[in-house]
Amino acid sequence: MTILQSFASGKWVSSSSGLKPLKSAVTGEIVAQIGSGDLDFSAMADHARQVSGPALRALTFHKRAAKLKALAQYLNERRDPLYELSYETGATKADSMIDIDGGIGTLFVYASKGRRELPDDVLLVDGAVEQLSKSGAFLGQHVATSLQGVAVHINAFNFPVWGMLEKLAPTLLAGMPAIVKPASATAWLAEAAFRMIVESGCLPEGAVQFVAGGTGDLLDRLGGQDVVSFTGSASTAAMLRANRNLIENSVRFIAEQDSLNATVLGPDTAPETPEFGAFIREVHREMTAKAGQKCTAIRRIIVPEDRRDAVIDAVSDRLAKTAIGDPRDENVRMGALASLAQREDVLAKAAEIGTEARLVYGDQATLFPRGADKEQGAFVSPMLFSLDDPDAAEKAHTVEAFGPVATVMGYRDLSHAFRLANRGKGSLVASV
């Protein structure tokens, strides 16, 4: 049985305690084991600050960009084995393209931006020289330099490759080393991609480190030059943000968390128009791609009240034609959620939404996934809710079921539509 390893201070480290199984989202079979750490986080942080940090900062933006490009090319040529591992996360081939190819593509983009938009220097001048005294003897200039600490990336389970690479690219381009902590549920895929990064030899020693398991006292080892970048639930973000050491040392904390994204159908879009068809296709795609496990997935469908039934019928018709099951089956269009725990969470959150909205499509009892056992695999039926009184409702605007779940609600006029959209409290995205 494969035991996932951490990469600390330039060496692969095996965990010997607290091992727990990681199961396939499709079959329920054990894919790997992950431990509780057994890591010296103080040494890891020091290694990043004292070894790799100076090496990265010595490189110009153009040289860092060149390393990102070389790494992207290396991964691109060796990505096929990652697809096989990705199936076990419940992802179809199309889903895996978003994760794997999307992540590699992000490296290419940042490499290009570093070469085209940044100077061949280690400093970034911000604006012109400012005269601060009447005589001109006192001048000021803003200059951006690399932080001299380490970036800690605590990543989500839904995109184990892309989520890792999209954070590493700007971090390394900025001249900062990183410690990556993937979500355990899909950590075997993240570890496989990380091994390729190390094997590539494209980055300075210690530029990236990897934690398979918990973060232990890592957050207690950080200081004012360090950064924490978290992706996950709002509750976990709040817990981490409250860490006493992070507060006392003003450690930068970035969180991408729950998002009740909305899409708005315009008042002049009738069911027979091309725009209506495009709207329905987009809603369906966002509900089913990655089984709805996308931070930018549509959760609230805001439409003219007199077209609510037409939208429900059209979306339901497309969902009914969506093949759900083993992602290796080329005819399957929606795979499983990332884990059985995630399935239980989605069903619980959907039940909360259902206390205020009517379920108009979806029935877990009648779900029979193609080529898979719905009890062993983390399969869930797409669920579409309809909300009769979106102004009085709370759950649809505050509870995110992180899966193939969305709620249709009607608006009276555009002003009302925008008020409903804003009930999401600063969602990641919205579309019109």
Q: What are 157's two structure tokens?
A: 């389970």
Q: Which of 67, 60, 89 is nearest to 156 (CA)?
A: 89
Distance CA 379, CA 369 (A): 7
CB distance 150 to 168 below 8 Å: no
Distance CA 432, CA 428 (A): 14
Distance CA 167, CA 178 (A): 9
List of E strands, 46-197: 124-131, 139-144, 151-154, 178-181
Radius of gyration (C-alpha) of the chain in whole angstroms = 24
Distance CA 429, CA 307 (A): 23
Residue 150 half-sphere exposure, CB side, CA atoms within 13 Å? 28
Asked about 202 being catalytic, the answer comes back as no
Measured CA to CA in angstroms, residue 398 lies from 140, 283, 395 at distances of: 46, 19, 5
Question: Any residues with CB less than 8 A from the CB of 215 and at least 6 apart, and which?
Answer: 37, 41, 152, 154, 181
Identified catalytic residue from 88, 166, 295, 356: 295
CB distance 335 to 92 below 8 Å: yes
Q: Which of 226, 227, 217, 231 is nearest to 162 (CA)?
A: 231
Identified catalytic residue from 256, 282, 330, 394: 256
Positions marked active-site: 256, 295
